[in-house]
Chain A
Amino acid sequence: MAYSDKVIDHYSNPRNVGTLDKSKNEVGTGLVGAPECGDVMRLQIEVDPETHIIKDARFKTFGCGSAIASSSLATEWLKGKTVDQALEIDNMDIVEELALPPVKIHCSVLAEDAIRAAINDYRVKNGLAPIEDKDRIH
């Protein structure tokens, strides 16, 4: 299958690969997917406790080029947003930006799930209730 230039760019020069200290209260970690499905994403955010702005975002992904690009793009978009703004990132925005074909839409869904999981981890660590999963057909 032919990949879009943006997918190739993110795959070849992934942004923000790495690991944040998950024991820190300001850090939220989301780990989604499963090895047997061929996709695992780990997305981490570091939040400024005063402003609730995401200061840093990191990812590591086991998966195809589209999965790697989706998570790389997600970290780019997360940085500088407040936690509430980050929740508004929709998987279809990722699909559009990366021009993902229909068979790769699940990669963007996984990225959105990873964002949500990281935010919830951060919220729970800081005494807040997790955001309920919105209804969505996977």
Chain B
Amino acid sequence: MLKLPVYLDSNATTPMDPRVLETMLPYFTENFGNAASRNHAFGWKAEEAVDYAREQIATLIGCTDKEIIFTSGATESNNLAIKGVAEMYVTKGNHIITLTTEHKAVLDTCKHLEKSGIQVTYLAVGSDGLIDLEDFKKAFTPQTILVSIMIANNETGVVQPIQELAKITHTNGALFHTDATQAVGKIPVLVDEMGIDLMSFTAHKMYGPKGIGALYVRRKNPRVKVTAQMDGGGHERGMRSGTLNVPGIVGFGKACEIARLEMDSEAARLSALRDYLQTELSKMEESYINGSVQHRLPHVTNMSFKYVEGEGLIMGVKDLAVSSGSACTSASLEPSYVLKNLGLSDDLAHSSLRFGLSRFTTKEDIDFAIQCVTKAVNQLREMSPLWEMHKEGIDLSTIQWEHH
């Protein structure tokens, strides 16, 4: 049965799996203890639950349980990793390399550090959203202490060649951090195999609860340390103080376990559905897929429908929860910086929609989405002066537009 509205915005957040919720519930009520209470059974029970979850999480990413530092989410993890490394390794150097298409939690953290004398190189990506390895190699200086490059992009789903990037980083004597928010639980992410030193991820993008995330911090080869960004009781090996969010951690653990067991079959199912959606929508003229189609998450596609504005399009598909790279407000007339960095012209960036499928997405949902989007695009094109000019063979770039 089709349930409206259809949710296709799983890059923003995912619904919680009922199995996760069920595991969490006792930890709100009867097992409410503080995991740091060493003197009674309430504390022991909570600690035991946290230890178990830590193992579930560690198993998913192939690390040891001691390498998981719990945080409030990926934004905090990114802040802790980048600021923590910049502070801890200040005597070694002051240069960080990242990408222009990173999430704001990375970019703004880097901008913040620039104010205190850290040098940051923001590397551009190609039209497929991928980093150029030669450019990357050239970006290193003797001062480089950290590289922060995401596994999968939140807007396009494009997956970077992490293994190669980490190898080059280590050759240059720096640490490799990755924002793996969109990737963990969706595609195999193994920290040893990939050469990751620090990794940010969060529960709510993988059918777990909001408000709980983790930073993986390597303990061996090399032993990585980050300076705590919050003072307090010295929890999480002194790297992140604050009473542990036990129910959240329990849910995060369960979410990781389910993801590990179901990832392969889910990825196959979702990529088939995603490809179907993409093929059907591509049947409309002047529709484009943004970013590499070879190196991409299985459940994501970002498409532009030329001559139709994204926000208007979203209004036309009101029973479909998707997001657009267009921001038509006086506060921000700029379309998505990620799409612009792929070299998309502003008008194509304004015409984009992002689809993110989830564990709960059905074929019916996708059929509905295809029907909705096709209808809305056609209707809006009938209403679009740009579409009419295009049909008349007018080259829009030759027109003197009046800018506001």
Query: Is B383 within 8 A of A17, CB to CB?
Result: yes
CB within 8 Å of B: which of A86-121?
Answer: 102-106, 109-110, 113
Q: Which of A8, A62, A64, A109 has the most CB of B within 10 A?
A: A62
Q: Provided the pairs A60-B384, A106-B404, A110-B404 are in contact, do residues A35 and B350 lie with their beta carbons within 8 angstroms?
A: yes
Residues of B with C-beta under 8 A to A128: none
| Residue-wise interface mask of B (15-53) relative to A, using a CB-CB cutoff of 8 A (1 in contact, 0 not) | 000000000000000000000000000000000000000
| Residue-wise interface mask of A (62-79) relative to B, using a CB-CB cutoff of 8 A (1 in contact, 0 not) | 111111100000000000
Query: Is B328 within 8 A of A41, CB to CB?
Result: no
Q: Provided the pairs A36-B345, A67-B312 are in contact, do residues A42 and B385 lie with their beta carbons within 8 angstroms?
A: yes
A19, A64, A102, A138: the one within 8 Å of B404 (CB): A138
Residues of A with C-beta under 8 A to B309: 38-39, 62-64, 67
Residues of B with C-beta under 8 A to A60: 383-385, 388
Q: Report the Cα distance A125→B309, complex, angstroms.
A: 32
Number of interface residues of A (CB under 8 A): 36
Chain A binder among B264-272, B284-292, B329-337:
B329-337
Chain A binder among B60-68, B233-241, B254-262, B395-403:
B395-403
Q: Provided the pairs A3-B315, A103-B329, A106-B404 are in contact, do residues A62 and B382 lie with their beta carbons within 8 angstroms?
A: no
A32 at the interface (CB under 8 A from B): yes
B156 at the interface (CB under 8 A from A): no
Query: Is B308 within 8 A of A62, CB to CB?
Result: yes
Residues of B with C-beta under 8 A to A11: 312, 315-316
CB distance from A126 to the nearest CB of B (A): 22
Q: Report the Cα distance A34→B403, complex, angstroms.
A: 6
Query: Is B347 within 8 A of A35, CB to CB?
Result: yes
Q: Provided the pairs A34-B404, A38-B326 are in contact, do residues A68 and B383 lie with their beta carbons within 8 angstroms?
A: yes
Residues of A with C-beta under 8 A to B335: 38
Residues of A with C-beta under 8 A to B347: 35-36, 38
Q: Which of B307, B346, B383, B403 has the most CB of A within 10 A?
A: B383
Q: Report the Cα distance A64→B386, complex, angstroms.
A: 14
Query: Is A35 within 8 A of B315, CB to CB?
Result: no
B311 at the interface (CB under 8 A from A): yes
Residues of A with C-beta under 8 A to B330: 102-106
Q: Report the Cα distance A103→B326, complex, angstroms.
A: 14
Query: Is B328 within 8 A of A38, CB to CB?
Result: yes
Q: Which of A8, A11, A60, A66 has the most CB of B within 10 A?
A: A60
Query: Is B312 within 8 A of A17, CB to CB?
Result: no
Q: Which 10 A-B pairs have CB atoms at the shortest separation, nearest pair first? A: A36-B346, A34-B401, A35-B347, A42-B385, A64-B311, A103-B329, A60-B385, A65-B315, A64-B328, A38-B350
19 contacts between A and B (CB under 8 A): A3-B315, A8-B315, A11-B312, A19-B388, A32-B402, A33-B401, A34-B403, A35-B401, A36-B350, A38-B310, A40-B384, A42-B385, A60-B388, A62-B307, A62-B308, A65-B312, A67-B312, A104-B329, A105-B330
- Other than the known A62-B309, A64-B309, what 12 A-B pairs have Cβ atoms closer than 8 Å? A34-B403, A35-B346, A36-B346, A37-B403, A38-B310, A38-B311, A38-B326, A41-B385, A42-B385, A60-B388, A61-B384, A61-B385
